[in-house]
Amino acid sequence: MTTLPAAGPAASTLAGPRNVPPFGSFNATLLGIEIRRRFRNRRTLFFTVAFPVVMFLAFGLQYRDTSIDAGRTVAQGAPSVAAFIMISMAVYGAMMASTSAGGAVAIERQLGWSRQLRLTPLHPAANISVKILGGLSIGLVAVLATFATGLVIGVRLPIHVWIVAGTAAWLGSLVFTAMGLMVGYLVPSENVMQFMGPALAFLAFFGGLFQPLDQMAKPLQDIGVWTPTYGLGEIARAPLSGEAFNWLAVGNVILWLAVFGVGAALAFRRDTKRV
């Protein structure tokens, strides 16, 4: 009768628990690869960096000497209409960069890369974190490029306005990161950007990024305050106007971040069950 050899140290080692890397395998190398991959995508760079700059020059250059303050001129230190448009276009660029995380997720799902990653120690939360930070890296470039263009054409603002408005436009775009991830887990990859492009343009228009909301018809204003772009635009431009803080805008951002965040989590859970 044939007897099986007793399990030795090697066998017990193989049967032991796997050592999970710290932070779910999130590390600087993985993040660097993701960022380099994003910046190699010329189409993404154009629409998230160059496009907002072109839009700003097309609509803002002619208003660099026009004040948004009826009581003061630009020469007297009042912010210009060009500054208003500059911040709005920076928000738009950060929005587009953030939603690109959803496109990256959708492509990985189509190629089967998500299934491959499930076989590795990489935790899904770490993978999503890398996608978010990759989108934020391009969003930061979009904001800096738009602001640098404004500085070149003569937009002059106090230093704290540059910093606060830029930071709000950049970090506030996390709302659209959550939106992009939700769509990326729900929509086939070939349809993600076809859906996101028009959707972002629609939200930007009705949210007051392409035209001040108070210059629209009353029904459009009533719709606009409920769009996710309204809150982000108002917060980013608040240091420029110097008006009282708009808590409605803060509530708008928190509401949509919660909606898209929960939607992305549910879509992610459904997708991983199928992997």
Please list, in sequence order, all residues whose beta carbon lies within 8 angstroms of the beta carbon of residue 67, skipping any fewer than 6 positions away. Answer: 73, 74, 78, 79, 80, 81
Please provide the average confidence, as pLDDT, over all residues in the chain.
Answer: 82
Domain count, the chain: 1
What average pLDDT does range 4-9 have in this prediction?
50
Asked if residue 112 belongs to a domain, the reply is yes
pLDDT band at 17 (very low <50, low <70, confident <90, very high): low
- Global pTM exceeds 0.85: no
User: Poorest-confidence range of 152-161, 194-203, 224-233, 263-272?
Assistant: 263-272
Q: Is residue 19 assigned to a domain?
A: no
122-130 own/partner pairs: CB under 8 Å, 24+ apart: 122/24, 122/25, 122/30, 123/20, 123/24, 123/25, 123/26, 124/268, 124/272, 125/24, 126/23, 126/24, 126/25, 126/26, 126/30, 128/181, 128/268, 129/26, 130/26, 130/30, 130/31, 130/34
Q: Name which residue leads in pLDDT, 4 or 271.
A: 271
pLDDT in the model for residue 19: 60
Instruction: Answer yes or no: is 97 within a domain.
Output: yes
Q: Is 8 a residue whose pLDDT tops 70?
A: no
In a domain, 159, yes or no: yes
pLDDT at 84 over 80: yes
Residue 49 structure tokens: 């960096």
- The per-residue pLDDT for 164 is 94
pLDDT of the residue at 275:
52
Burial (Cβ within 10 Å: 0-12, 13-18, ≥19) of residue 8? exposed
pLDDT at position 94 is 93
Closest CA to 240 of 61, 63, 80, 94: 80
Tell me whether residue 241 is in a domain: yes
**In the prediction, which pLDDT does 272 show?**
65
> Domain of 68?
26-274
In this model, does residue 14 exceed pLDDT 50? no
Both structure tokens of 195: 């859906």
- The dihedral over CA atoms of 48, 52, 53, 55, expressed in degrees to the nearest 10, equals 150
Does 8 reside within a domain? Answer: no
pLDDT in tens, 89-114: 999 999 988 887 777 777 777 777 66
Q: Are 90 and 169 in contact (CB under 8 A)?
A: yes
* 42 in a structural domain: yes
pLDDT score of 242 more than 90: no
Show the tokens assigned to 17: 């628990």
pLDDT surpassing 90 at residue 48: no
> What is the reported pLDDT for 129?
80
In this prediction, residues 123-148 reach a mean pLDDT of 85
> Over 90: is that where the pLDDT of 18 sits?
no
Does residue 51 form part of some domain?
A: yes
Tokens 């939200």 belong to: 203
